[in-house]
Amino acid sequence: MNIILESKELVRYYGTHLAVDRVSFEVRCGEIFAFLGPNGAGKTTTVRMLTGFFTPSSGTGLINGHDIVREPTEARRHIGVVPEEANVYVDLSVWRNVMLMAELHGIDKRTRTERGQELLEAFDLYDRKEHEGRSLSKGLKQRLMLCMALVSGPDLLFLDEPTSGLDVKSARLIRDTIVRMNKEENMTVFLTTHNIAEAEQICDRVAIIDEGRIAAIDTPDALRSVVASRRSVEVTFSDGDYQSLSPEGFQGVEELKPLSQGFKLYSATPGRLAQQVAASALEKGLEVQNIRTLEPSLEDVFVHITSGKNKRSENHE
């Protein structure tokens, strides 16, 4: 599979502070790639180096084979960038914002007109095309930023927290449209997000960065398989004194979390544990409302990798 983005040993210092430490990874053509990390982990700095806003202290970023530092014009021709804070021209209309961006990319009048209309309709902005940028809500500005980034037909779209703080309608529209364009136009998407459920839902691969280094990179399924101990059994009861079960005493329980009418038990062997719970409930005359085994979520993986407890264990070893 062709590679559209390469990060090769990227390093970035702020004074004496090492923010990004030899970060290397590749993004394949046509995939949706998520970049996750806690605040201060280095993800925004990495993206700004890859998009040409920051110069690396060392290392190389390649966009479709072009060095973002040495060949910025050629590299940027392939990308669209949507920052977290919508940066529209507030004195211009919605339509002029989109057309200006197309003109800056050298898109001919017919193409930019057709493309602009398609995008405004896709993001439910066409009826507002004469409205000034200052009149738009945050969600509408974010949709407009996407239209501005997409009007040039980029091969690679960088999205920085695209649905953060948005209403449900805007967030769903942005997510669904990006997924559709990825499938229909084979557009590659590089997504930085705190919304782990969103990454798990739409991304082909996920990279987790922590303390300036890549801590893990793989498909969501493969990452979940790494933390077998985060498998779990979730059980709720219709009535009765379910706390008499003393679930922490069951074999294989590694952690217990109380629920409204039951509990969630983490175990590397959830099937066997579920049998213990069901048998004990039957013995005590308790009516089980629901019992299910769960695989680890991407959030479980993220917490496992970035938690201080995990780091201390690794350092001790």
The lowest-confidence range among 84-88, 200-204, 274-278 is: 84-88
Mean pLDDT of the chain: 89
Q: What is residue 1's predicted lDDT score, i.e. its pLDDT?
A: 60
pTM: 0.81
pLDDT-based confidence at residue 313 (cuts at 50, 70, 90): very low
Q: Where in the chain is the domain with CATH 3.30.70.980?
A: 228-295
**pLDDT tops 90 at residue 15:** yes
The lowest-confidence range among 6-10, 70-74, 214-218, 278-282 is: 278-282
- Residue % of the chain over a pLDDT of 90: 60
The lowest-confidence range among 18-32, 235-249, 291-305 is: 235-249
Q: What is residue 148's predicted lDDT score, i.e. its pLDDT?
A: 95
**pLDDT tops 70 at residue 242:** yes
Q: Is the dihedral of CA 176, 177, 178, 181 positive or negative?
A: positive
**pLDDT tops 80 at residue 228:** no
**What's the CATH superfamily of 3-224?**
P-loop containing nucleotide triphosphate hydrolases (3.40.50.300)
Q: What is residue 317's predicted lDDT score, i.e. its pLDDT?
A: 42
**What's the CATH superfamily of 228-295?**
YebC, transcriptional regulation domain (3.30.70.980)
Q: What is residue 258's predicted lDDT score, i.e. its pLDDT?
A: 87
User: 35-60: per-residue pLDDT in tens?
Assistant: 998 888 999 999 999 999 999 999 99
User: 68-83: per-residue pLDDT in tens?
Assistant: 999 999 999 999 998 8
Q: Where in the chain is the domain with CATH 3.40.50.300?
A: 3-224
User: 145-164: per-residue pLDDT in tens?
Assistant: 999 999 999 999 999 888 88
Q: What is the mean pLDDT of residues 23-46?
A: 94
Q: What is residue 309's predicted lDDT score, i.e. its pLDDT?
A: 46
Q: What is residue 46's predicted lDDT score, i.e. its pLDDT?
A: 96
